[in-house]
Chain A
Amino acid sequence: EPEVTQTPSHQVTQMGQEVILRCVPISNHLYFYWYRQILGQKVEFLVSFYNNEISEKSEIFDDQFSVERPDGSNFTLKIRSTKLEDSAMYFCARGVGASNQPQHFGDGTRLSIL
């Protein structure tokens, strides 16, 4: 049973369109993360979010990406103008805080850009 629920499980979008991926933590945690996994490749860190602010982001997380927690519960990743190379699995994870503590992943959203 994943500790975060992600919706939708599969999203198909036309290139250039905006897409919003959602993550709902089961318990009330402060640390959230987004990761990306292109088919057949390793999981890559995108961004971390703490106390309603971005804490760290990778070079992948450019200006077309944004994250927010609009209602204090759902945690969203928005891609403003999708490109073909954005096609991937996107995973949300939650953590408890300290750098030596685990991160627990959801089952992901498969994003397909046409």
Chain B
Amino acid sequence: GENVEQHPSTLSVQEGDSAVIKCTYSDSASNYFPWYKQELGKGPQLIIDIRSNVGEKKDQRIAVTLNKTAKHFSLHITETQPEDSAVYFCAARLTGGGADGLTFGKGTHLIIQP
């Protein structure tokens, strides 16, 4: 099955700086890579996703890059703000029917220092 590795486990950055979180996956058949933000006491909230037919996607301060050859993808947050503090999870999903589950990374605790 799929295995997703995520680094770092904790990331502390100064407010206004950029943050980068990296993930690798094992199964080349994966074709969908979402990123979720989880705040305390809440469920994972989808913030951005990328499909295997593109290499980069951007949404305001958030961007995701995908390297299918190397089987890794990254989340980039620019101009970080205090409200960006949360746990971020990457995930991967195999090609196939719509009922396939997501395989998650272990999460990155992002801390924005004022």
Within 8 A of A (CB), among B23-81: 31-32, 34, 36, 41-46, 49, 51-52
Q: A interface, how many residues as a size bin?
A: 20 to 34
Indicate which residue in B36, B45, B98 contacts A99 across the interface (CB closer than 8 Å). B98
Nearest B residue to A54, CB-CB:
B99
Summarize A's interface: helix, strand, loop or mixed: strand
Nearest B residue to A98, CB-CB:
B98
Q: Is A44 an interface residue (CB 8 A)?
A: yes
Contacting pair A100 B51 (CB below 8 A): yes
In the bound complex, how far is the Cα of B45 from the Cα of A43, in angstroms? 12
A43-B89, A103-B102, A105-B46 provided; 8 other pairs, C-beta below 8 A? A2-B43, A44-B104, A56-B100, A58-B101, A99-B31, A99-B100, A102-B46, A103-B46
Give 25 A-B contacts (CB < 8 Å), ordered by A residue: A42-B105, A43-B91, A44-B104, A45-B103, A46-B101, A47-B101, A48-B99, A50-B99, A56-B97, A56-B99, A56-B100, A56-B101, A91-B44, A96-B98, A98-B98, A99-B94, A99-B100, A100-B31, A102-B34, A102-B46, A102-B49, A103-B46, A103-B102, A105-B45, A105-B46
